[in-house]
Amino acid sequence: MNVIILAAGKGTRMHSNLPKVLHPIAGVSMLAHVLNTARQTQLQRAIVVYGHGAEQVQAAFAGQDIHWALQSPQLGTGHAVQMALPHLSDDFPTLILYGDVPLTSVASLQKLVDAAGTHHLGLMTLLLDDPKGYGRIVRNQSDEVTRIVEEKDADESEKQIREVNTGLMLVPTAMLRRWVGSLDNNNAQKEYYLTDIIASAHRDGVTVNTCQPTFDWEVLGVNSREQQAQLERIYQVQFARKLMNQGVTLADPERIDVRGSLVCGRDVFIDVGCVFEGEVTLADNVSIGPYCVVKNATIAAGTRLEAYCHLEQAQVGERAHIGPYARLRPGAKLAESVHVGNFVEIKNSKIGKQSKANHLAYIGDADIGERVNIGAGTITCNYDGANKHRTIIEDDVFIGSDTQLVAPIRVGAGATLGAGTTLVKDAPAGQLTVSRAKQLTVSGWRRPVKKDAVSKKKD
């Protein structure tokens, strides 16, 4: 099929400098949603009709196999399709979609394909209790679709019609060329209505077959921030249902946000308020505590994230225990049974099996072996003001609290660093290394007092 996506509108009610079709649903622009769905159909050629914010729209899809048709000025949907005509192949029918209608499913589009068949015109419609604002589907006594009337042009009897136009249609391309070429703007809005081709089809004896989407929300468009938020929640609730149908336990399916891909194994539990971005994989028996943010990360089987953890571009091994309030930054790679506790930050570092950093530590640009204990307040000093340097801590090392390791530095296997140590030279394996000032007690020393307090005492 040829697929035309109308995406030229300004989106005045969005009150934004960003073109409307680039506003996101679930972290992906609306236009990208439509394109991704179109590519799952019998797509032969994708044509995007663009206009407002032209450079931004094209830049967002640079390098993709898209034919671009500029509509300037914007004179209606019929005019928009006219701009796309040079890119169409008459060998295939043409599917018309909208860049601000992001949630239409492949299954519903297949209904449209089936309705159109080989030589008919397929039209997706809805039955609404309150059809206000929509174009009405006008049928004759034989129940044939004869035309679509826009609300501003409808008389009182036509406004009572409950069947409305969604705008989605599949049209034989050669006929589309002829019908669109004969459009006029003799209507209340002085625009070229694409919907007028329905009357042309009836006049030419081409059957207009209708179908309905699987769910009404699939054909909802976005014209305001409020509508954008409504579609966001619809998307998230549908994704949550999909997860639960796959066996995932959600503490509250209305309090999860997935902005990308989330792949879950068996018996996964996700608590409330969690956000998943990019590509995220949760293996079997993973438990995610409340209000965690996980972005482009892989979490292996049996791992538990406590509340308020942030992970980005991180890999976590099996049976790890993370958090609460832990942060794993890009390049963090944790082996199995690693413990990372509250207010611990790890960046571009490897942590070996059964190693622990349970309290208030920063581990950056480090390679840490197995069974290492990182004491509270430990810092790898990886940055000299110009360059980053690595810290290497071998197996079975014990690092006391409030220790600073000034990289580049190596701590040998089995070594112990005493609390309060500032390590500037390599620590030998199996030895205790301590770097701290000698403890003194000064007899007779008194704490200073404020001058005002002394004066008041004399008075």
The 3 state secondary structure assigned to the chain is CEEEEEECCCCHHHCCCCCHHHCEECCEEHHHHHHHHHCCCCCCEEEEEEECEHHHHHHHCCCCCCEEEECCCCCCHHHHHHHHHHHCCCCCCEEEEECCCCCCCHHHHHHHHHHHCCCCEEEEEEECCCCCCCCEEEECCCCCEEEEECHHHCCHHHHCCCEEEEEEEEECHHHHHHHHHCCCCCCCCCCCCHHHHHHHHHHCCCCEEEECCCCHHHHCCCCCHHHHHHHHHHHHHHHHHHHHHCCCEECCCCCEEEEEEEEECCCCEECCCEEEEEEEEECCCCEECCCCEEECCEECCCCEECCCCEEECCEECCCCEECCCCEECCCCEECCCCEEEEEEEEECCEECCCCEEEEEEEEECEEECCCCEECCCCEEECECCCCECCEEECCCCEECCCCEEECCEEECCCCEECCCCEECCCECCCCEECCCCCCCCCCCCCCCCCHHHHHHHHC
Domain 225-433 CATH superfamily: Hexapeptide repeat proteins (2.160.10.10)
Q: Give me 339's structure tokens.
A: 């413990």
- Check residue 458 and give its pLDDT: 61
- Check residue 456 and give its pLDDT: 61
Q: Are 162 and 137 in contact (CB under 8 A)?
A: no
Between the alpha carbon of residue 176 and those of residues 81, 173, 222, the distances in Å are 9, 5, 26
Same fold for the domain at 2-219 and the one at 225-433? no
**At 369, which amino acid appears?**
G
Give me the residue spans of the domains in the chain: 2-219, 225-433
Query: Residue 374 CA to chain centroid, in angstroms?
Result: 35
Catalytic residues: 359
Distance between CA atoms of residues 315 and 304, nearest Å: 13
- Check residue 238 and give its pLDDT: 97
- Check residue 454 and give its pLDDT: 57
- Beta-carbon contacts of 63 under 8 Å, excluding residues fewer than 6 positions away, are none
- Check residue 402 and give its pLDDT: 96
Query: Residue 422 CA to chain centroid, in angstroms?
Result: 43
- Check residue 455 and give its pLDDT: 63
Rounded (10°) CA dihedral 177, 29, 244, 230: -90
- Check residue 229 and give its pLDDT: 97
Q: Are 445 and 429 in contact (CB under 8 A)?
A: no
Residue 422 neighbours by CB distance under 10 Å = 14
- Return averaged pLDDT per consecutive 10 residues of the chain, 459 residues in all: 95 94 97 97 94 96 96 93 96 96 97 93 96 94 95 92 97 96 87 94 96 97 96 98 97 97 98 98 98 98 98 98 98 98 98 97 98 98 94 98 97 97 96 90 89 64
- Check residue 10 and give its pLDDT: 87
Distance between CA atoms of residues 364 and 383, nearest Å: 9
- Check residue 453 and give its pLDDT: 60
Return the CATH architecture of domain 2-219. Alpha-Beta Complex (3.90)
